[in-house]
Amino acid sequence: MSPSAAVILGSAPESFPYSVLAERHPAIIGQVREAFPYGPEQHRALDALLAGCTEGVIEPLPDGAWGEWGIDDHVGQSWFDVPWLWSESYFYRRLLDAVGYFGDGPWRGIDPFRPSKLAELDSQETDQELAALDELASRTAEEQGAALLHGSLWGNRADLGFRLSDGEAERRDAVPDLVADDSDRLWSLLDGTGTLCLIADNAGRELIPDLLLLAHLLEHGRIERAVLHVKPYPYYVSDATTADVVDALRRLVRAPGRAAEYGRRLWDAMADGRLSVRAHAFSCAPLPYADMPDDLRAEIGGAALTVLKGDLNYRRLVGDRWWAPTTSFAEVTAYFPGPVAALRTLKSDVITGLDDRTEAALVEAEGQRWRTSGTHALIQVRP
Ligand SMILES: O=P(O)(O)OC[C@@]1(O)O[C@H](CO)[C@@H](O)[C@@H]1O
């Protein structure tokens, strides 16, 4: 029998999910309001969302949207009483409705999170991470691959430069923070044949190292093709869309040094089809991947390996549930159509695949803080 556990809700005061619904979402509404010179219509809609998301109930979406994603089961319920994954995802959809993203007016298609994404791409930290590629050039292909895998894993932490400037730093700092490390298994699946699907997470300083890793894998013949799955519309503040991929590639090709070579190779790979971008509707679904539609299942099933980046994708991969931490990662991902890897820093309560000793050591050192602090990471693979 496949393992099961209770679905995470946002209803327990003091819990991390509760704080996201009660505090993070109102703060995001405030940031979005500040970021653009919206008119009275958008301000009124944001006011209504602010009141609704903390004290109201789930309401129908325009044009009967999300019928296939369970909205009829949740209309009339408190945001805190439906699955947390569903409620958060619904928040981002409602936010986009409030600012006219899906409307017929002039705000259609304007990403409310774009200013913060661009600021990150323009930051000094991005300059430093890209400059580290020059030093990496003298290393062996394996060392380069390992560094770029860790750069992609740690994503928004500024550690590409840090790790490369100090060979020991990787062992001192990153490895103790890895609560599971199946990277050897991951490399063994990249034998040069077939397609790698990379299900991306954040834009900016996470997407840049993801792209660098893909460039490396294509260049060194570890894969034949790559498909980068991004979100069809803005989501969870910083999630990458096609527009963010374009911004990141333009940033790379204009950078000094080796970074531009990586960018140019990716640009060429886009042109000849070895790298493609996919924005499937299900990428913004409020549901676990176990519920993915048949067309996506067939597409992913044909890949040599699918890599899912980030915390949210991990929650969707294993199911957003109160798993015992030692629950088998292989068992909870057995449904996934093909070999699968998760690269994730730990930013929410969900965890599977730990061994007893690792869990005990984490609890002894930190109580339960390690689950959400973002200071630990994992590489888990189910071949
Ligand atoms: O997927 P990501 O970018 O790594 O993290 C998404 C996240 O910030 O959003 C949720 C809280 O809103 C948590 O799952 C997680 O902390």
Q: pLDDT of 3-54, one tens digit each?
A: 789 999 999 999 999 999 999 999 999 999 999 999 999 999 999 999 999 9
CB of 206 sitting under 6 A from ligand 1: no
Among 9, 79, 202, 312, the mutation site with the greatest number of ligand 1 atoms within 8 A of its Cβ is: 312
User: Averaged over 330-342, what is the pLDDT?
Assistant: 98
* Distance of CA 103 from the midpoint of ligand 1 (Å): 27
Distance, CA of 235 to CA of 202 (rounded, Å): 9
Half-sphere exposure of 93 (CA within 13 A, CB side): 20
pLDDT of residue 2: 75
Calculate the average pLDDT of the chain.
93
* β partners of residue 239: 202
Reported as a pLDDT band with limits 50, 70 and 90, residue 322 is: very high
Residue located nearest, by CA, to atom 12 of ligand 1? 20
* Ligand 1 atom at minimum distance from 16 CA: 11
What's the whole-model pTM score?
Answer: 0.94
Distance CA 32, CA 131 (A): 32
pLDDT, tens digit (0-9, with 9 covering 90-100), for 121-172: 999 989 999 999 999 999 999 999 999 999 999 885 533 333 333 344 444 4
Q: How confident is the model at residue 79 (pLDDT cuts 50, 70, 90)?
A: very high
pLDDT tens, residue by residue, 60-78: 999 999 999 999 999 999 9
- The whole-number pLDDT of residue 159 equals 32
Residues 88 and 4: their CA atoms lie apart, in Å, by 22
Instruction: Give 347 Cα–ligand 1 centroid separation in angstroms.
Output: 6
**Terminal-residue alpha carbon distance, the chain:** 20
How is domain 118-382 classified at the architecture level of CATH?
3-Layer(aba) Sandwich (3.40)
Lowest mean pLDDT among 19-33, 88-102, 154-168, 215-229: 154-168
Amino acid at 167: G
Q: What is the pLDDT of residue 374?
A: 86
Instruction: Quote the ligand 1 centre to 84 CA distance (angstroms).
Output: 12
Between residues 1 and 374, the one the model is more confident about: 374
Q: Which atom of ligand 1 is nearest to the CA of 239?
A: 3
Distance between Cα 346 and ligand 1 center (Å): 9
Query: Can you give the pLDDT at residue 175?
Result: 36
Cβ of 89 below 6 Å from ligand 1: no
State the distance from the centre of ligand 1 to the C-alpha of 8, rounded, in angstroms. Answer: 14
pLDDT of 255-288, one tens digit each?
A: 999 999 999 999 999 999 999 999 999 999 999 9
In the chain, where the domains are located:
16-112, 118-382
pLDDT of residue 280: 98
Question: Checking phi first, is residue 2 left (phi over 0); if not, alpha (psi -120 to 50) or beta?
Answer: beta
Whether the per-residue pLDDT at 330 is higher than 50: the answer is yes
State in Å: Cα 303 to ligand 1 middle: 26
Ligand 1 within 6 A of CB of 236: yes
Region for residue 70 given its phi and psi (left: phi exceeds 0; alpha: psi -120 to 50; beta: otherwise): left
237 lines ligand 1 (CB under 6 A): no
With a 6 Å cutoff on the Cβ, whether 205 touches ligand 1 is: no
Section 300-311 average pLDDT: 96
Cβ(156) – ligand 1 distance below 6 Å: no
Q: Is the CB of 320 under 6 A from ligand 1?
A: no
Does the Cβ of 347 fall within 6 Å of ligand 1?
yes
Q: What is the spatial distance between Cα 270 and Cα 264, in angstroms, rounded to a whole number?
A: 10
Whether ligand 1 lies within 6 angstroms of the CB of 311 is answered as: yes
Site to probe by mutation for ligand 1, drawn from 92, 314, 317, 348 as the one with most ligand atoms within 8 Å of Cβ, is: 348
Average pLDDT of 286-312? 97
Q: Which protein residue's CA is at the shortest distance from atom 16 of ligand 1? A: 347
